[in-house]
Copies of this chain bind each other. A is one copy, B any other.
Amino acid sequence: MPSFGLRHRRAWASLFSQLLRPSGFVCIREVHFHSQVSEAMLTSQLKPHQEKSNFIIKTPKGTRDLSPQQMVIREKILDMVVGCFKRHGAKRLDTPAFELKEMLTEKYGEDSGLIYDLKDQGGELLSLRYDLTVPFARYLAMNKVKRMKRYHVGKVWRRESPTIVQGRYREFCQCDFDIAGQFDPMIPDAECLKIMCEILSGLQLGDFLIKVNDRRILDGMLAVCGVPESKFHAICSSIDKLDKISWNDVRHEMVAKKGLAPEVADRIGDYVQCHGGVSLIEEMFQDSRLSQNKQALEGLGDLKLLFEYLTLFGIAEKISFDLSLARGLDYYTGVIYEAVLLQTPAQAEESLNVGSVAAGGRYDGLVGMFDPKGHKVPCVGLSIGVERIFAILEQRIKTSGQKIRTTETQVFVATPQNNFLQERLKLISELWDAGIKAELLYKNNPKLLTQLHYCEHMGIPLVVIIGEQELKEGVIKLRSVVSREEVAIKRENLVAEIQKRLSES
């Protein structure tokens, strides 16, 4: 569907209103060397690494730098996400990058092995945070906060085998929105799904679907199918693979590796291959086995109410009740959800498989784990998978050949003559003090052509030019880089004229 991809490329491109000529690092040909270092002193202090064996300059495995080009894309995404969180009345919170090690234990089930620990250098045992949810729960319990709508943007760390092609890293950024507090049922839950829809639509990632299930329905289903409680975890993790491998393979794993009776696996198969909307919820209410289970009925009742609210929000058609959705983390207790892109727009042929781009659920017991008296604070929330969204958008921009402007400089201060550094410095200082974004070349006597080339390379729209003639007449030349038109402006009017031009563009 090339027209689909194209439409989306164009729409996203409009977000980047300042896309310009190739930026990157501008080469200026003549370089005047000036020894600002005493070589003798330096070498006595600093030994270059090449003297050591096996030294490779790199970032740690599974991590990366973000270049200025990448940071522009990253910040566009974060602005959109944070803007949505604020639209829904959330406050911002920040927590340390590491927590006491014991804060993170028994929260992540099988994934606990992926937690980064800090070395014991004397003092407390510490671990890097694995997500933003557990620190939030710790904050609520520690400060005895019973009600809070907060967002948190920050890095988290997981020692996963990085498959970088799919946008998975050991260090990655999460954007979390959570609602803590005892409220009437499913209203905050519905808002979380609304937020996911707003963000995924706003980012123009193409068509998406949010799968919804409930831990109580999942547990109830396993119980009525005859799975012993001790195997719930293992069987859930098999079910969770259904978006990657076929039911036959999942069934084989359950029976051959996890020792489930074939008829039990088949009963599970009847359920986990179901997905649909409100009608599927009704069907499950009537299901002879499932309707016997109290937990499952509670979950189904809540899902029904949820879909009522989703319909009022106009997003019901984006949500699919999916009995195969299992979400690994131990702390979920109620509704769970996960957003997937239905196709990778424009790059389907390049098989950029990004998996889920947002997920979350209800965790009513987590805060109580931190409270000395076990007092619970019900919570529901979501997390946006920034790295995966980033991978899609970066790929799209690459494919389109668009260049991204990495600075916001509005005015360049130039001179056609030698020995005008002093005047340029005075002038640019005036611009900075007036709040105008301005640059000059760090050279005593740059050539005019070099200066104008720099503006074109960097996409700077305006140039102010000062020379002997201008100085004598008390004027400055103001030049448009694109049209190359020049006008002389009285020096005292320059700032006002520049501000007028910039507000018009």
- Asked whether, in the complex, the Cβ of A219 is within 8 Å of the Cβ of B93, the reply is no
- Asked whether, in the complex, the Cβ of B37 is within 8 Å of the Cβ of A364, the reply is yes
Which one of B72, B198, B425 lies within 8 Å of A313 (CB-CB)? B425
Stretch binding the partner chain, chosen from A2-10, A146-154, A317-325, A475-483: A146-154
Which one of B32, B92, B216 lies within 8 Å of A68 (CB-CB)? B92
Q: Name A136's closest neighbour in chain B (CB-CB).
A: B65
The count of identical subunits is: 2
- Asked whether, in the complex, the Cβ of B312 is within 8 Å of the Cβ of A429, the reply is yes
Which one of B87, B142, B159, B438 lies within 8 Å of A87 (CB-CB)? B438
Whole-angstrom distance from the CB of A458 to the nearest CB of chain B?
8
Whole-angstrom distance from the CB of A473 to the nearest CB of chain B?
21
Whole-angstrom distance from the CB of A321 to the nearest CB of chain B?
17
- Asked whether, in the complex, the Cβ of A65 is within 8 Å of the Cβ of B94, the reply is yes
- Asked whether, in the complex, the Cβ of A117 is within 8 Å of the Cβ of B123, the reply is no
| Complex: A23 Cα to B111 Cα, angstroms | 38
**Interface 0/1 of A287-327, CB less than 8 Å to B:** 00000001100100010000001001110000000000000
Contacts A118-B119, A150-B68, A432-B194: A50 and B96 contacting too (C-beta < 8 A)?
Answer: no
Q: Name A117's closest neighbour in chain B (CB-CB).
A: B119
Residues in B whose Cβ lies below 8 Å from that of A72: 92
- Asked whether, in the complex, the Cβ of B369 is within 8 Å of the Cβ of A47, the reply is yes
Q: A185 at interface (Cβ–Cβ under 8 A)? A: yes
Stretch binding the partner chain, chosen from A54-62, A239-247, A339-347: A54-62
Of the listed residues A57, A159, A216, A298, the one surrounded by the most CB atoms of chain B closer than 10 A to its CB is A57
Q: Name A198's closest neighbour in chain B (CB-CB).
A: B432
Residues in B whose Cβ lies below 8 Å from that of A157: 97
- Asked whether, in the complex, the Cβ of B96 is within 8 Å of the Cβ of A57, the reply is no
**Interface 0/1 of A436-452, CB less than 8 Å to B:** 11110011100000000
Q: A67 at interface (Cβ–Cβ under 8 A)? A: yes
Which one of B32, B41, B117, B215 lies within 8 Å of A216 (CB-CB)? B41
| Complex: A25 Cα to B145 Cα, angstroms | 8
Q: A362 at interface (Cβ–Cβ under 8 A)? A: yes
| Complex: A280 Cα to B138 Cα, angstroms | 56
Whole-angstrom distance from the CB of A42 to the nearest CB of chain B?
4
- Asked whether, in the complex, the Cβ of B121 is within 8 Å of the Cβ of A93, the reply is no
Q: Name A51's closest neighbour in chain B (CB-CB).
A: B374
Stretch binding the partner chain, chosen from A13-21, A269-277, A401-409, A464-472: A401-409
Stretch binding the partner chain, chosen from A99-107, A258-266, A484-492, A494-502: A99-107
Q: A426 at interface (Cβ–Cβ under 8 A)? A: yes
Which one of B44, B90, B100, B219 lies within 8 Å of A60 (CB-CB)? B100
Whole-angstrom distance from the CB of A408 to the nearest CB of chain B?
5
Number of interface residues of A (CB under 8 A): 140
Of the listed residues A50, A90, A142, A442, the one surrounded by the most CB atoms of chain B closer than 10 A to its CB is A442
Contacts A59-B99, A89-B407, A314-B429: A298 and B38 contacting too (C-beta < 8 A)?
Answer: yes
| CB under 8 Å from chain B, chain A span 219-243 | 219, 229
| CB under 8 Å from chain B, chain A span 414-428 | 421-422, 425-426
Residues in B whose Cβ lies below 8 Å from that of A65: 93-96, 135, 139, 142
Q: A116 at interface (Cβ–Cβ under 8 A)? A: yes
- Asked whether, in the complex, the Cβ of B50 is within 8 Å of the Cβ of A374, the reply is yes
| Complex: A425 Cα to B198 Cα, angstroms | 15
- Asked whether, in the complex, the Cβ of A194 is within 8 Å of the Cβ of B429, the reply is yes
| Complex: A51 Cα to B99 Cα, angstroms | 20
| CB under 8 Å from chain B, chain A span 338-363 | 362
Further pairs besides A34-B185, A118-B128: 19, Cβ < 8 Å: A38-B333, A46-B369, A49-B370, A49-B372, A55-B372, A57-B141, A59-B96, A59-B100, A60-B99, A60-B124, A60-B126, A66-B95, A70-B94, A87-B437, A88-B439, A89-B439, A116-B119, A117-B121, A187-B443
Binding site for B on A (CB under 8 A): 25-26, 31-38, 41-42, 44-50, 52, 55, 57-61, 63-68, 70-72, 74-75, 86-100, 102-103, 106, 116-121, 123-124, 126, 128, 135, 138-139, 141-143, 145-148, 150, 155, 157, 159, 171, 179, 181-185, 187-188, 190-191, 194, 198, 215-216, 219, 229, 294-295, 298, 302, 309, 312-314, 330-331, 333-334, 362, 364-366, 368-374, 376, 378, 406-409, 421-422, 425-426, 429, 432-433, 435-439, 442-444
Q: What are 14 sample pairs from A and B whose C-beta atoms fall under 8 A apart?
A: A36-B302, A36-B364, A37-B378, A38-B333, A41-B219, A50-B371, A60-B126, A65-B95, A87-B432, A88-B438, A116-B119, A117-B121, A187-B425, A187-B442
